Amino acid sequence: MPDKSTTSEPPASKSTGAKSPAVTPNAAESSTAPEKSGPARKIYQIVKYGDPILEKPSKSITKFDAELEELAEDMFATMYSAQGIGLAAPQIGKSIRIAVVDVTGGKNPEAKIVLVNPEIIHGEGEKREEEGCLSIPGFRGYVVRPQFVTVKAQDVKGQEFEIRGEDLLARAFCHEIDHLNGILFLTHLSMLKRDLIRRKIKKLKKQGEW
C-alpha cells in the first residue's frame, strides 16, 4: 500500500509481537526512506499487476525461524524503499501469508507490525477513502473499508496476538490481508473505474512501460 494518507491516529495495540503506532495527521506521508541500521537488507522488486501470484491465495506459514525474521526485515526495507506503508509477500513474488505494515513510513520504529497468517476477526464502522497499491503504481481509487478492525495473527516467533486498527491502520490491515487472499484493491472499485484502469495498464504494457 503506497505511503499516502488523509488522517489517522491508531489506538494502542494489545499485541504481544508489535505495538500499534500513535501518529499525527499526515505522519504517514514520508518522502524519503528511513535511515537504515544494522546489516544491509535485500530490496526486492515489487511484482506488478498482471502477475498471477497477485490473484491467488497464499499458503499459511508453519515454519518460524531466522529465515522468516530476515524476510520480514527485508520486506520492511523493500516497503520503505518504495515509499509504502504496507507490503504483502505476494508483492515480492512469495505466495506465503506474511505482511508488514508501518503507517508512519519508517518514522517511528515502534510502529513496525509483522502479521503472519493474519485474519480479520472483527470489523465495525465504514469509511471511504482513496487507496492505491505498490503493485499497481500510478493508479488510485476510492475504497470503502471498515473504520475499525481487529486482526488475529502470529509474529515471526509464532506467538499469537490480536491487534486493533483504526482509520489508516485498519485500511492498511485490510489491504494487505486482501493481498494474502489474492484480492487487489481494484476488486473494490466500480466496474467502470476498474475497467478504465485495466485498459490503461494494457496500453502501458504495449508501450513497454509496465
Q: Which residues are catalytic?
A: 176
Structure letter (DSSP) for residue 84:
B
154: burial class by Cβ within 10 Å (0-12, 13-18, 19+)?
Answer: buried
Q: What one-letter code names the amino acid at 78?
A: T
Scan for cell 496476538, then name that residue: 161
Q: Give the Cα separation of 153 and 96 in Å (integer).
A: 14
Distance, in Å, from the CA atom of 162 to the CA atom of 181, rounded to the nearest integer, reads 19
Measured CA to CA, the distance from residue 84 to residue 207 in angstroms comes to 26
Q: How far apart are CA 76 and CA 85, in angstroms?
A: 9
Q: How far apart are CA 142 and CA 130, in angstroms?
A: 4
Instruction: Give the start-end residues of each E strand in the chain.
Output: 86-88, 98-101, 113-124, 127-132, 140-145, 148-154, 160-166
